[in-house]
Structure 1
């Protein structure tokens, strides 16, 4: 049944949307530039108008009630649409911020950003390259690509992208060895360890002669290309080096691992058109 009365005030809806998104009256007040009491008063007036509670007040912040969550989803979507409409009217680009690991940024995103700009001239893509787990609200992140595994936090939707780890080396390093490399030979070569490589899953209890520890997968891949050792890397990250001949796969089968790269997005943002476009593009970058 369509509501025929006057709509709640815009200030009350803005206060509710900010509080529902941040789950804190204080954080909402800071965002809106008003006092915490003003936010609480606007929310109370909205609850009185609607005739049901929107939040459960807790010692640390607030949580949405079941009916409050349903109302919040629609109000949040309405504000997103208003923002998008205003951007179009003012010919402004929609900014989408993506948080990704440094290796995903350097091997998958950065080389393809010019092509993205051509296809999506209305979207300004901002890349935040970090291994730290981003807070979507605090850091202003719309999407994230993370090396992780289930379960995932409530309020987030995660889509698996890839996990296949392969062993690679420069052709010069393995010249003269039988291919694929036997495990006993692998254990006697220098192994590049970036914290993601799972050499034990491949070698079992064999003793390793030498390891070189490097704190980024991209650097380990570069070290392997220069002949400094064997690297274990996701296939997507070494695809170009394999095509160019800088690297070659020296073990036939992928190495099993219990983590993978996932595309993570807040559930409340899944319907935003710009976010959907960037999500689709990110999936395309995850294909070798």
Structure 2
């Protein structure tokens, strides 16, 4: 007849001992496990009683593993790692797609729409790489990017037009005179102009208003377009930005179009992908989701 299997100690006691062996402190082990310090200490005492061994030496302010405790802790740690690995093997990793965008596009356009993406594609984990510098699809691990400019963007890349750049002036509705849809032109002499790194105000004045930026105007400069947009919404002055970046603020009336007319820019937004993506299925889903926001009739560029 076979030998009867040895009854194992309770799992909670083993977890309490293993956590305590790493922290050498019941309080820290309790914090990790989400239980009280007294519960951890009691689990360890009961485990020692059941095994008939002392696993810890109780010092004034910490714990020290005994020789049997040190050996037992190392073997238990490996056992817990094996259980974790076995569980992970049963649960397939979600598809991961890294999307490279500018910080302004991330905060003003992408982040507000992420809940819709999560609902439509719960099996795809998006990683957002937000940087002003141009991400490299190889060294940065980007799978898809939203880039502004004119294609081609590089060998081995495909580009689809997402939004044409239409630059408008915006401000807080609190700055508009009562009953007026736009700011009066003469009020611009005393206005504050919010600039970003693109410095589009001089070109906007020249092409849209057929005049120069008033010499008396106050200027504020920001390193990112999102900061200029937020300052405009806070009533600190006028900003110029691509319409697609301020669409949410215009809809919510945090911002209004400050001046009539718009400037057609050269920095159109494109969805850029590798011609041979690393994760074709998931990347295709993200690409299709992004392009679903493209205005009707927009032409795709390759």
Pair in the same fold by TM > 0.5? yes
Does 1:106 pair with 2:96? no
Query: Which of 194, 197, 219 is 1:195 aligned to?
Result: 197
Which blocks of at least 5 consecutive residues in structure 1 are unaligned? 1-86
Do the aligned partners of 1:198 and 1:257 also contact (CA within 8 Å) in 2?
A: no
Q: Structure 1 runs of 4+ off > 6 angstroms?
A: none
- In the other structure, the counterpart of 1:142 is 143
CA-to-partner distance for each residue in 1:28-72, whole Å, 9 max, x for gaps? xxxxxxxxxxxxxxxxxxxxxxxxxxxxxxxxxxxxxxxxxxxxx
Q: CA deviation at 1:98?
A: 0.2
Match of 1:228 among 236, 241, 244: 236
CA distance in 1, matches of 2:202, 2:179: 22
Q: What SS does structure 2 have at the residue aligned with 1:268?
A: coil
Structure 1 244/90 Cα, relative in aligned 2: closer, same or farther at 3 Å?
closer
Give the distance between the partners of 2:295 and 2:229, measured in 1 at CA. 18
Q: Could you tell me which residue of structure 1 aligns to residue 288 of structure 2?
A: 280
Confirm or deny that 1:206 pairs with 2:212: yes
Which one of 171, 182, 190 corresponds to residue 169 of structure 1? Answer: 171
Q: Distance in 1 between matches of 2:145 and 2:232?
A: 28
Separation in structure 2 between the aligned mates of residue 252 and residue 123 of structure 1, nearest angstrom: 42
Q: Using the TM superposition, name which of 113-122 and 212-221 deviates more.
A: 113-122
**Partner-residue secondary structure (3-state), 1:118:** helix
- Spell out the pairing of 1:1-288 with structure 2 (5 A cutoff): 91-162=92-163, 163-175=165-177, 178-186=180-188, 188-204=190-206, 206-208=212-214, 209-269=217-277, 272-285=280-293
Q: How far, CA to CA, are the matches of 2:160 and 2:257 in structure 1?
A: 27
1:95 match: secondary structure:
strand
| 1:86-118: CA deviation from partner (whole Å, max 9, x where unpaired) | x99952211100000111111222222232222
The alignment's C-alpha RMSD in Å is: 2.7
SS at match of 2:174: coil
- In the alignment, the residues of structure 2 paired with residue 171 and residue 178 of structure 1 have an alpha-carbon distance, to the nearest angstrom, of 10
1-side partners of 2:89 and 2:247: how far apart? 38
Helix, strand or coil for the counterpart of 2:141? Answer: coil
Contact 2:99 2:127 in 1 (8 A): yes
- Larger of the two Rg values belongs to structure: 2
TM-score for both structures, normalised by structure 1: 0.63
Listed as ranges, the gaps of 5+ residues in structure 2 are 1-87, 297-302
Tell me the TM-score normalised to structure 2 length.
0.60
Counterpart-to-counterpart distance in 2, 1:277 and 1:102: 22
Q: Distance in 2 between matches of 1:104 and 1:284?
A: 16
Q: How many residues align?
A: 202
